[in-house]
Structure 1
């Protein structure tokens, strides 16, 4: 099996992690154990699950880890939405982070559909 490092979705997920870290560095210090930790963990989990799934033994294992990565992306979407509504963080620029997350989610969705063509969920 080829390395996860060759997967464009993994490369974009790593860019997303960096973007999340850069964004959350601008958050108030009191969020270090709250929203900052949650957002960073969600972003890291996306990239980590892509990598782990790629090195599992079967296509079904890979598919399961892609689903976990996709779910972590949904968590991060929610956390970004919350951050954009909070008084102390709503004025930050979320464009780059949101665009990267959208791109990663679309890629994961396409990969999941390709690996599981019988899936009816979209």
Structure 2
């Protein structure tokens, strides 16, 4: 199993969820976060005072999937979240040693076995 952490623009969340659903990925966690990368600081004047924003609002999606779903999940996130501008975000992949279903208390070794999987275009 792998955990994909995708940090994306908040306005791209809906498109990214639709892209994930289209490949059968329906389980994920979403958090609102702020961060700093290559995106430039923003500054302005509010009520007569200067301000500068150096941390930008982002959305962090965490998705745990089987190894065979990693590449198609990455491609779905990129295709939905990419604008081509600085600040589009990052994707991080890490290995998951074990997962447990809290309801049953059993090890969950088939994390996405029940999800319908559509073939990639290359496989058709």
> TM-score, with normalisation over the residues of structure 1?
0.32
> Which is richer in helix?
1
Higher RCO, 1 vs 2 (CA within 8 Å, ≥6 residues apart):
2
> TM-score, with normalisation over the residues of structure 2?
0.31
Name which one, 1 or 2, has greater alpha-carbon Rg. Answer: 2
> Which is richer in strand?
2
